[in-house]
A and B are shown apart, each in its own frame.
Chain A
């Protein structure tokens, strides 16, 4: 695949006003600095144009709504945050200066900074690639944007888990089952971040053997999964060690999960929480390791009762792809070796997603993993290896190789 066939991300020169820095407006782009406006209300998000020349674009954002709002520019995967302006208060007008490379993006607002994006709209940038900023600026900006992405994911996690848990507590087994894999998607995209908080991942996502081995109460997603797919639980643990939960116990376990993911969200959103470039590149590798682990998705152990492993698998790959996308431009600036690595990773991420897509999608659901033959699992494993090997070189390329344009 041609490097240019894939959407290019920003050259992250923008010192976001998140951190209160003065935007670096001295960067030169290929086109004249365009000035666009963004009109945000509680329910709408109108950008004055849907395309721009590459280079520096300024967005003048006015909030005429009733509460705090946020403007975002997302990459073509609609996940990775390329630029954002948070905490635009009612009546306020602020300016966000953004350097954009040619490619496809999406603009949207986030009312009260959470929930589904409002007026998610394609935004096209044309023209020539613009020069990258200095190494350190690029690294700093990438880390800030990745943190924004992680925050957006944990922010989505809380309502998704709440809806799922409520159905479960209400005893609506069919509905809860249908929501189980969707409730996990955001978590699976950013799991290495959750794992930084030692006690949270065990509570949220431990499988029974892990909890037993460490003498913990078994709680979280998989405790509820075992209860929802209780026949499978009996098959996998014929010693009867998994008991059907009573209504009161359902409420306890369910409420605990909401509490734990809310706790995760608070910790990630804390002002002193930061992520380094190493966290990002190691996190990408870690997400794929989660898939390949003996008790991971490839073996079908992760979701051993619901067999929804392929949904988790896809989310892990998406998470790794976003992390990679965050530093992709930096890798591209590292001479021949960097360009070859980017070529290879672009190809392998696309091939991995394409192969997984033959099994379904979030919208239509993925095939139950117990119906996937060993041959097909081997093909998934082969593609995962093909992706994981070059990904293991990303940290070195981004952090250790000299910039050589």
Chain B
């Protein structure tokens, strides 16, 4: 569980700073010797614009970057998302990858505290582009989490080449997802060597983070595709109300909640296979951009919409009766027709853990609208994110859904990716994924 932390002023003499690369944080290093950041005892550089430590009465909640599990997984789902997938550049080396992860970790720790990306901030000498792009100056941390992951292609590229000397350490669980019936996958918005999930309650804060982390990566990795999400579609804590997706239905009622430690341990964190490996304390992220044909859906009558979903639209209760959190009764039948009250091709029936050998996944998706297409339809849907102990759990559920889900008439999966999300660095002497290179 992530605790709420007060922002901390980073100690410039932490040992983790010793290996910052010359790129990205060049200005920060400045006159430093041996990697110790700017002199004068770590005070802020002259001319820096200082981000106010979270002002009271605003969204000043911060989460720690360092720890055991990465924040942004069981963390109470924030309202906004900027997700980005990156490819390493064709000339990047193992050292480049390590330096990039070090730089990203340094920056992420600061950004999650509501600080600028480097101490020199959004100001500095007049002839130097500021280290920080500046659009989050004055904004609180806004509960931001930055969560990093490694795609299968980081270990072996499309030709099977081990570019970074890590192929031997690729987890068996980390392979590209199979195709599913009805997939309309666009390769240009799928996959990626690396990913960053930025979640925050203020979209500007999340966008600022991805933008600056992208800039730090120039020369080593380039953004491959990215996605903005504007409304969470799952609750990951019992303290959160269940939000609605763009179909207008509550989504994530039966999601794993962070308070359910047994379920989290069994189905979110990488399982027994990961023990003793660099993935101990990590998880696997599945990404599916699911386009919704909203115009068609909106013309479906209420009964059809509810039968497709398996829940009633107003309350979110299962069609077998009760209230939102009443357990679905899949054996309940309609007295008049004798048919199951929850249709067996409904989304709830097919996806529910009781129909899937008790397997659960932690959903953490967001609604998206990317404007409209050329024939006047909203280009919109669900940016599905799920964390699980192994991608195989998602695959098993998705196979069932792809085969028979009545909802398939109204959705198309248009992108697909899977990432190994390593544990958090324990302290500033590590960086995200450092165990992979140990």
Contacts and interface: CB of A to CB of B under 8 A. Distances in A.
A390 B27 contact: no
B90 interface: yes
A358 to B, nearest CB: 11
Interface residues of chain A: helix, strand, loop or mixed (majority)? helix
Given A351-B91, A389-B218, A389-B219, A340 B127 contact: no
Interface in B125-169: 125-129
B153 to A, nearest CB: 14
A393 B33 CA distance: 19
A340 B218 CA distance: 16
B127 A395 contact: yes
A335 B26 CA distance: 13
Given A337-B30, A379-B90, A383-B89, A344 B222 contact: no
A337 B31 CA distance: 7
A382 B128 contact: no
A400 B31 CA distance: 13
A39 interface: no
Given A336-B31, A395-B127, A381 B222 contact: yes
A341 B26 CA distance: 8
A275 interface: no
Nearest to A404: B31
Given A336-B31, A392-B129, A393-B129, A385 B222 contact: yes
B219 A340 contact: no
B22 interface: yes
Category for how many chain A residues contact B: 20 to 34
Contacts of A389: 23, 215, 218-219
Nearest to A392: B129
A337 B22 CA distance: 9
Contacts of B23: 344, 389-390
B91 A340 contact: no
B225 to A, nearest CB: 11
Given A340-B22, A381-B222, A385-B222, A393 B89 contact: no
A357 to B, nearest CB: 14
Contacts of B129: 392-393
Interface size classification for chain B: 20 to 34
Contacts of A244: none
Contacts of B125: 396, 400
Contacts of B126: 400
B22 to A, nearest CB: 5
Interface in B8-59: 22-23, 26-27, 29-31, 33
A382 B193 CA distance: 15
B27 to A, nearest CB: 7
Given A351-B91, A386-B89, A399-B127, A378 B222 contact: yes
A348 interface: yes
Interface in B176-225: 188, 215, 218-220, 222
A386 B92 CA distance: 11
B26 A340 contact: yes
A284 to B, nearest CB: 13
Contacts of B29: 337
Interface of A: 335-337, 340-341, 343-344, 348, 351, 374, 378-379, 381-383, 385-390, 392-393, 395-396, 399-400
11 contacts: A337-B30, A379-B89, A382-B222, A387-B219, A389-B23, A392-B128, A393-B27, A396-B127, A396-B128, A399-B127, A400-B125
Interface of B: 22-23, 26-27, 29-31, 33, 89-91, 125-129, 188, 215, 218-220, 222
Nearest 4 Cβ contacts at the A-B interface: A386-B219, A396-B128, A382-B222, A385-B218
